[in-house]
Amino acid sequence: MTNTQRIEDSLRETIISRPDMILDDKDLMQALIAANERSMGGNIVDLRGIAMERLEARLDRLEDTHRSVIAAAYENLAGTNQIHRAILRMLDPVEFEYFLRDLGGDVAQVLRVDVIKLVLESSSNDEDPAVKKLGDVLSVAEPGFVDSYINDGREAPMRPVTLRQLQIGDPRIYGDKAEWIKSEACLKLDFGPGRQPGLLVMGSEDPHQFTAQQGTDLLAFFGGVFERAMRRWLS
């Protein structure tokens, strides 16, 4: 064996003293296994090698799952922080007018939605005095509108939060912005005994912002806090 075919003494000593360098290197181990299989010839089946390949495949799947779980955890944490910031901003105003103005402004920006609308049902044509002076964030609808809008006119079990994608937004909610809205979150609001239900709608131009496959726990929590804040203003 010539000098060029032999491993240098220093490298050989390093490998002998620290074999973990080879064992921990996936590419080196695969190269050594492949060389060993070639030296055995084509008539020998290396069951150990097959078992190692299966274990490596299983390890790769576990690593992918691990990365997915970590990514989901970070996404959930980011969503929780986002909801908390929005709630804190929503609780700042001490007047109803500013409360709704911030809802359509700063709170919408924190939640990263393009439109927030609040719908209150009323059985009379006379609006509550607290409602008359408010801007375009708030609108008043006839009794039954909330359930009909959430269920899209169909008989279905009522849920506190409904997420869906849209071809186009409803002009009754979004006005001249309706054609740009591609997904929305509908939060049904309970203002307590003796009061009509309400509806908080978050609309987005991104069709993937709200989909039926997403979890609703954080938005349900936000809706619960919003209900309690609204009861104070409507009392």
Sequence-distant (6+) residues with CB within 8 A of 204 are 112, 113, 114, 115, 181, 182, 183, 184, 210
Domain shared by 50 and 73, yes or no: no
Q: For 3-10, what is the mean pLDDT?
A: 62
- Determine the average pLDDT of the residues in 153-177: 85
Token pair 């071809």 is found at 167
Task: Give the tens place of pLDDT for each residue, 70-81.
Answer: 877 777 788 888
Residue 162 lies in a domain: yes
CATH number of 85's domain: 3.30.450.40
Tell me, yes or no, whether 95 and 187 share the same domain.
yes
pLDDT in tens, 25-80: 777 777 777 776 666 665 555 666 667 777 777 887 888 887 877 877 777 788 88
Name the more confident of 2 and 194.
Answer: 194
- Are 89 and 29 within one domain? no
Query: Are 44 and 90 part of one and the same domain?
Result: no
Q: So what's the pLDDT on residue 188?
A: 94
Question: Rounded to whole angstroms, how far apart are CA atoms 15 and 229?
Answer: 69
Is there a contact between 169 and 181 (Cβ–Cβ < 8 Å)?
yes
- For residues 37 and 120, state if they share a domain: no
Residue with the larger pLDDT of the pair 88 and 43: 88
| Nearest one of 170, 111, 172, 165 to 141, comparing CA atoms | 172
Sequence letter at residue 87: I
Residue in the block written with tokens 């039954």: 144
Residue 117's pLDDT is: 93
Residues 80 and 141 in one domain: yes
| Rounded Cα distance, 156 and 170, in Å | 20
Are residues 76 and 57 both part of a single domain?
Answer: no
**133: confidence class by pLDDT, cuts 50, 70, 90:** low
- Regarding whether 13 and 45 lie in a shared domain, the answer is yes
Asked whether residue 4 is domain-assigned, the answer is no
Query: How many structural domains does the chain have?
Result: 2
- Domain assignment present for 204: yes
What is the residue range of 41's domain?
9-61
Are residues 109 and 82 in contact, defined by beta-carbon separation less than 8 angstroms?
Answer: no
* Within a domain: 148: yes
Q: What percent of the chain has pLDDT over 90?
A: 31
Q: Tell whether 2 is covered by a domain.
A: no
Asked if residue 1 is part of any domain, the answer here is no
Residue 3 lies in a domain: no
Residue 33 lies in a domain: yes
CA dihedral 48, 49, 53, 58 (to 10 degrees): 10
